[in-house]
Structures are given as C-alpha cells and as structure tokens.
Structure 1
C-alpha cells in the first residue's frame, strides 16, 4: 500500500509539472512581441466539427480568389473565399486529405486514407472521380509545361504522374526516399522533389519518368517544404534541423544556408517582394529577404501560432496564410528594408 501511495504521489507531481509546463508555454506564446514583418488580418473559421477532438490542416493552395485547405482529420477540402475569409464549400469523401493542385477546370486532392487522388469540379466543388495515387500520396502539384499532375507518394517513395484531362495514371517514378514537397520548373518541366529520410533533393524528368539528378543538401537534414524562384533558378528547402538551404536548381550547388525556427514544414517564395517564408510548427514564421540570387538575410522569426506548420501565399495580394491545427491565420506583409 505504501508503494502504491508513493507511486500515486509521484504521478500527481508529474501531472502537475506537465500542467505547469503547458501553462508556462502558452503564457510565453501570449507575451511575445508583435511581429514586425507581417501584420495579422484575420482568422478563418474551420468547417463543421469532426469526430476527432483536434482538427488538422496539412497543405493549402491559392487559386484565383479561392484558398483550398486539405483537412486531413476530416477527410475533406475546404474552399475559402479569400475576399471574405469565409468557408464557401466543402469537398468530402477524401480520407486523410493532404495536398491540392489545380489544372484547367478541375482540382486534384491527395487522400492517403484510400491511396487515391480525388478530382473535383472547380465550378460546383463536386467530386467527379478518384484516381489511384500510389502508396500514401501526400504533396501534389501541377506541371504546366508537360501538362501533368504529379503526386508525391510519401510511404511509397515514388511519384505518380496523372493526365489531368484523361484523369488516369500515366506513369510512376521510383524516388529512393520518402517524398515530401515538390516543385515544377515552368521553363523545363522538370520536377524537384524533397526526400526526407535521405536528405536529398532529386530532379525528375516527367516525360522520361525517371530521376536524372540527385542533390545533397549540405548541412540540411530532413527536408520537408520546398519553394522555387524560377527566374533566378534557386530552390529553397526547409530542413528539420532548423536550416533553410538555398540551391542552384541547375547544378545542385548550395549557395546559402540560413537559420529558421523549430518544427518547420512549409516554404513559400514571393517573387515580387523577394521574400522567402518558412512556417515553423513551434509558432514562428521565418521571414527571409532575398537581396540577390546568392545573398539572403533573415529579417525576423515572426511570432505566429503554435502548430503553424503550413504556409501559402496569394501571388496577387501577397497575403500569407498559415495553418495551425484546424484554423488558418491570415497575415499581410509589412514592407521592410
């Protein structure tokens, strides 16, 4: 009995310490100074409640006046009007939704719950077809140059190529590593793909359906988010050891390595403002200014929301969207030096 009382007392102390730690952490988050490089402009309300206690958004994608958010926890894509920040439609039957891409009149969303890519009509937000997406499809992009949808298969370590008109698979590319985010080169049609487990970035020729080059990430490990400056031929790979690696897209040479925050997942590049963004799950957005193709400086580790791992930028308004759990915070950039 004495041992039981001792164990119960120890458990109580442990629980108390955990509660105090959580309270202290949230007090810290609430007392941080306001960001200088971004300005909060609103919170987007999540869609209807799910059967899960916590909601989770994985990727987001901006197309025109609509923001598409993949609610992994609810198995749906939320369609948000960027003028009002209101959810205007939900596209369901997409178990464990992740990424969204748009090609022509249709949207494409990965659903790792049934290993498919769901095709939906942009005009009425109705699901029209499901296409095989490989093993655990995650990120997805449209390669406009070669007119193909590319789905990065996380667990399958492959890339699935889909004809967006025929809505059918036309090829599979073995990658040799766990696939995270990808980017397509609008000039050549080549696809750049982060491989998380082996800390590589590979170059894919979608027409030959093969990997043509493998780039090492220098000091960066565990890459996830990937952004691309097509004009200057620079790739921005966010890594889980709190580094953003800048590479020459044509040669794979590492031209810069910059510090970012903890828990990074997403990356975006604004070519007009020449800013690189890294969204960090521990509640910051790393804002980096591009002075030239090979010169960069961190402007700020801007405070955001705890859990804010995913980022999307509206190319027309430059508004920044950061997903944290089931909500989306909207920010406008603040001009700086």
Structure 2
C-alpha cells in the first residue's frame, strides 16, 4: 500500500451534527483549511507541527473550502446562508460574503478572470433551485445563475481549456461551462453510473475522474466524453484527488471508512487504506507525498505519508 499513517492533529470538538466537509491546502504555508460544518467554521492547522492554529467562524453550515494560490485567496461555500466567503490566508481574516444560489456546495475558480463557480445543491421544496452561480469577484456579485437538471456535487476548473466541470447527481452527468461564456451550459457529459459525486481532472491527459454513489469510478475523456475506464470502489465515495506527481488517484469512502488508491497510468487498484467510519473528505498536500483524512467520530485529521 502506498499510504502509511504517521500521526494525527486534534481539531475542535463538534458543536452540533455535521462533521467535516471539503478541504484545501495553502501551498505557501502548507496550512490546511477544512470546512467544519458542525461548527459553522473553517479550521486551519499546521500538519508539520501537528497543531490546530485557529478557526474562521460565522460561516453558516460551511460545506467547502477552496484555496487559490495564484490569487492568495480562500473561498468557502456557506450552505446555511446561501453565500460564499472570500478571505486572505492567515489568522483573523476579514471575510467578504457574496450572495449565491440555494445551498452552495462545490466550488471552482478561474484566477485569470477572477470568476468563482458555486454549485448550489438547491432545496427540494423550492422549484428550479438546483443552479450554478458564477461570481465576479471584482464586482462582488453573482454575474449569472445557470439552472441545471439536478442536484450539484463537486466541481473543477480546467485552466488550459477555460472550462468548468460540475457533477450532477441525477441524472448522473457532468455539466461543462465555458469561462468565456459563463452564463450558459456549453455541453454535458453522460456518466454511466448513478450519482456522480467526487470529481478531479488530469490536465496532461485531459481525463476526468468521476466517483459515483453506485460505488464506481468512471474515467472519461474530457473532450469527447468517451468512457475510458470503469473501476469498482470499496463503497459510496465522496472526495477525489488526482496526484499528478505520483500519478495516483485517491477516493475517500465514508462507509466503511477507507481511502481507495489507483494508479492513474493503468487505472489498476493499489488497494484501500482503512480510516474511520464516516471519513468522507480528504486534502492533498502540495508535495503529493501523502494525504490528510478528516475523522468525524474523533474530530481529528489523520496524516498519511507515501510509503515509497
């Protein structure tokens, strides 16, 4: 197995239900920003010192954190208040909030155009509320709201092609939006497994890695939409990370609690590493030499290092 557990970082105890959600790493400092949904906050910790540093509060039901190293910004999706948060890395940040659609979740960012995509899961009681908000950072407002055919999941940005990719749970598909015309759906890619969920992208081979609730990992050609590979997972997945340096893909599986690892050159399984029941979210360090896994039952981050 390619990952070895080396230690833990204790994080603040949960104040309510909800645990942790999506996370990201600030490359310059190495600090990790994780959405602590149960605490309406983003927790920040130093994985080298193995120490929780501080938390950014007042982010209602925060569902995700995204770091832009190019723009030196952190973004959050605040599902409980229908906003995104924007702030600079570092302690005691001033958070700017911008209104988006109903219950934002997935985030992606085009640093050249300073355009943030917020994928809104919507509310079943509110018709046509599954949308994508395109936020103009310089204007501090939503530039366009795009209706999509179902609940959104995760999103990524392809800087080479100026394209956003957004997973839709049902019907299972990937919505493609051109950053040069960010007020409409450019095209869709069918996903041949139920519940498109976690998503990442390999710019070198132009492949999309889509982990689905049906317990399958679907690899697609981003241009043609052709299915290139279909692999079994150990359970229902969530967060996916493509590790370009090691040519590996990690898929977090909350139940039974594992990280599935694949060699992306062959898409062969490298096995699974046990984590903790409910651990559905992870973060990839800039070095690519490990993985941080968030453990909701014990409110900790587990630090895994690559074994070779």
TM over 0.5: yes
Tell me the equivalent position of 1:8: none
Give the CA RMSD over aligned residues: 1.6
- Report the CA distance between 1:174 and its aligned residue: 1.8
Between the aligned partners of 2:177 and 2:18, the Cα distance in structure 1 is 34
Tell me the equivalent position of 1:91: 56
Between the aligned partners of 1:316 and 1:164, the Cα distance in structure 2 is 29
Tell me the equivalent position of 1:51: 15
Higher alpha-carbon deviation: 159-168 or 181-190: 159-168
Correspondence 1:212 to 2:176: no
- Report the CA distance between 1:145 and its aligned residue: 4.3
- Report the CA distance between 1:63 and its aligned residue: 1.4
Please list, as runs of the form range in 1=range in 2, the aligned pairs for 1:224-243 lying within 5 A after superposition.
224-243=197-216
- Structure 1 length-normalised TM: 0.83
Q: Is the 8 Å Cα contact of residues 107 and 116 (structure 2) preserved in structure 1?
A: yes
Structure 1 unaligned residues grouped into runs of 5+: 1-35
Structure 2 unaligned residues grouped into runs of 5+: 123-128
Correspondence 1:61 to 2:24: yes
Task: Name whichever structure is richer in helix by fraction.
Answer: 1
Between the aligned partners of 1:122 and 1:232, the Cα distance in structure 2 is 31
Between the aligned partners of 2:168 and 2:18, the Cα distance in structure 1 is 27
Which of the two has higher C-alpha Rg? 1
Q: Is the 8 Å Cα contact of residues 150 and 169 (structure 2) preserved in structure 1?
A: yes
Tell me the equivalent position of 1:311: 282
Correspondence 1:127 to 2:94: yes
Between the aligned partners of 2:80 and 2:98, the Cα distance in structure 1 is 13
Q: Is the 8 Å Cα contact of residues 145 and 189 (structure 1) preserved in structure 2?
A: no
Between the aligned partners of 1:333 and 1:186, the Cα distance in structure 2 is 28
Q: Is the 8 Å Cα contact of residues 107 and 156 (structure 2) preserved in structure 1?
A: no
**Which of 72, 78, 83 is residue 43 of structure 2 equivalent to?**
78
Between the aligned partners of 1:164 and 1:125, the Cα distance in structure 2 is 21
Please list, as runs of the form range in 1=range in 2, the aligned pairs for 1:280-291 lying within 5 A after superposition.
280-282=253-255, 283-291=257-265
Cα displacement string for residues 130-158 of structure 1 (whole angstroms, at most 9, x for unaligned residues): 11021000111222343311111011321
